[in-house]
Structure 1
């Protein structure tokens, strides 16, 4: 009785296995129950022109800054501007007591009048001497003395005129004017103070705030890398981020690049220029710069997630034209956001595996599913079909 039962059970098992194989074949599965090739996400490589960008920290400074100083000695009488306000070039900022300077100017004019009178007398003597020398009514020595006196008197007049001009200039310095247009700072000396004694006294400072300078620096290695690529531009763009992280609406341009390395820091000084029409930027503020210093041609952007490393080198896995996974050794040059920039190791059209790396085995087949290239939006994914249940 037991033998027929065993035969019946074995037959039922074989029948069920055959039914499952037929169902799998009808569903499109591989024959014989083999696993399908794993699906991996790939990015197709295409050479492109890649901007060379650096994130740097810089400090704002005024486009022009002028110290307003007392250029003549005297007592400061009045301040004629509002501290922290915008002033125009030539606007009166301070007045110094002009009385001593007016007296000096009057004295210089008196000396000029005296010199002119002496010159008139000397000219008259010289004219008489010229009329008498022909008839030899005066000696040659007297004639020479009269001519020399005339010339000396004319030189004295010129010196007196220069003294008057200097006195007028000093009198004009008693009215202190703005040397440039900009924002006038805090008053450094109060009214009633004696200024200009010995050396010019600082009264205030005027800063031109539109445009503004951004002073920053780069290491010698970074600057050499940019220049080695042959991509440095004189009009490199600079994007400014305010201290709160807000992008500043006006882009800047590279204005100056130094050629002297600071021995203390090993860095090279650079400067950018940015418009400041609304006065948002203030001197002394630290800001973040996103500087585009040039362009690198025929470069490949490889997502950092695709790069693997071992004891030999960095490498990526690609899906070849035969549908199999292959390894390609690369040399990463520099990071650009979430990608590596490189020129060697990959070629145009290579399908670099970005996702599903744990399922990709070199030499084994894989199914490539395109992913968005670096800097592109992901495509709309189609709805996956729902397998029929039977």
Structure 2
């Protein structure tokens, strides 16, 4: 009890503290909420300033786009001379050629079949052999037909004898009738018998001719000259006229033809010289269109146009002495329609295409280039004729034009400049030019536009 008593001094040292009340929930100060829209507006303005400031456009706003592109390339800046190859515009003959696709088609492709039934005794050809018209190919057993022939000849001889006797009797009867010794009816009967025997003799003669023809058919000969294919039947087999495969197939190779198509728009240029009797030259090239296989002439034009394709078929014939054309072979054809004389000619690689049409880079005396629009004519592989825009003797860029623009300076490597007629000198970059000068294909050059 005494322990629980406290003195007044102890009471003053340990005063009793009331419990802390819970903090009241209050909203943010109104001044902080007003600052949020202001901060957002400041950020928007700063972003707009950064977007439109010149440094965001690479710091080259005062330079032309071509110069900026040249700076980004890092090599061959546009203000430095560019190495190019050039060619001189020449004058010469330009052939007008129509290029087409065609198929080699033999003038004759014959399946040799037997014309009578019988046993095949022997085959007289070798597979792949060249044969001439009339050569023996196979022999059918002729003995049954020889027997039939002799029988028909015997019947013919008998009926001929009967006819001769009947004619003699008719003459005697006519004499007796003139003497009024026999009746006229007997003479008429004898005359009918003579006609009957005459008919029998004709029938017998036809049988003889038939069996002789069968003996001819027993020898199977080549109906055309050409190359024989694989043998379809072996000796010892019984062949009939109903066999669909026949004995062998002969394909005529010399001469041979090529059937190709061309647009109906070319008909006027083709028919005019053809109707005038001009022999129009046609050259057949291989599938890659790089190697000439054979030269021939246009033979004929089909009598109608295919309405679905707007094309017409043509046939050209070739002697094919070297055997370079094979049936059903795919070939490229070049039909020579005309020859333009004194044409202005440049290498095909010099002609570029832009939004304004065809153009070339012409080299001026101060070794700068200028863009010149041209009007092109017929194209013959690596040569292109120009109708207007160039003069003979001018120089044009044939390689390296993808790095040029109007007024650009150029350098020409030590390699000789190529003429328009020598396309081989116009192709390929010089070893003195940088590696980048050798890049840039013809396709890329044709797609660029003049600056």
1:205 paired with 2:257, answer no
Alignment TM-score, normalising by the size of structure 2: 0.60
In 2, distance between residues paired with 1:305 and 1:83? 50
Alignment TM-score, normalising by the size of structure 1: 0.68
Corresponding residue number in structure 1 for 2:219: 175
1:122 paired with 2:166, answer yes
Relative distance call for 1:376 and 1:42 in structure 2 (3 A) is closer
Q: Structure 1, residues 125-162: CA drift from partner, whole Å, max 9, x if none? A: 21112212222323333333322332332232123212
> Which runs of no fewer than 5 residues in structure 1 stay unpaired?
1-34, 380-390
Corresponding residue number in structure 1 for 2:279: 234
1:196 paired with 2:229, answer no
Deviation of 1:73 (Å): 1.5
RMSD between superposed Cα atoms in Å: 4.3
Deviation of 1:77 (Å): 2.6
In 2, distance between residues paired with 1:228 and 1:81? 44
Corresponding residue number in structure 1 for 2:130: 86
Contact 1:79 1:94 in 2 (8 A): yes
Corresponding residue number in structure 1 for 2:206: 162
Contact 1:44 1:351 in 2 (8 A): yes
Contact 1:252 1:273 in 2 (8 A): yes
Q: Select the structure that is richer in strand.
A: 1
Corresponding residue number in structure 1 for 2:436: none
In 2, distance between residues paired with 1:260 and 1:219? 12
> Which runs of no fewer than 5 residues in structure 2 stay unpaired?
1-78, 411-415, 427-451
1:376 paired with 2:419, answer no
In 1, distance between residues paired with 2:422 and 2:107? 39
In 1, distance between residues paired with 2:361 and 2:155? 96
In 2, distance between residues paired with 1:324 and 1:256? 53
Deviation of 1:203 (Å): 0.8
Figure out how many residues of one structure are paired with residues of the other and give that number: 337
Relative distance call for 1:247 and 1:302 in structure 2 (3 A) is closer
In 2, distance between residues paired with 1:44 and 1:82? 58
Corresponding residue number in structure 2 for 1:102: 146
Contact 1:71 1:200 in 2 (8 A): no
Deviation of 1:284 (Å): 3.0
Deviation of 1:79 (Å): 1.8
Q: Which has the larger radius of gyration?
A: 2
Contact 2:351 2:358 in 1 (8 A): yes
In 2, distance between residues paired with 1:244 and 1:314? 25
Contact 1:52 1:294 in 2 (8 A): yes
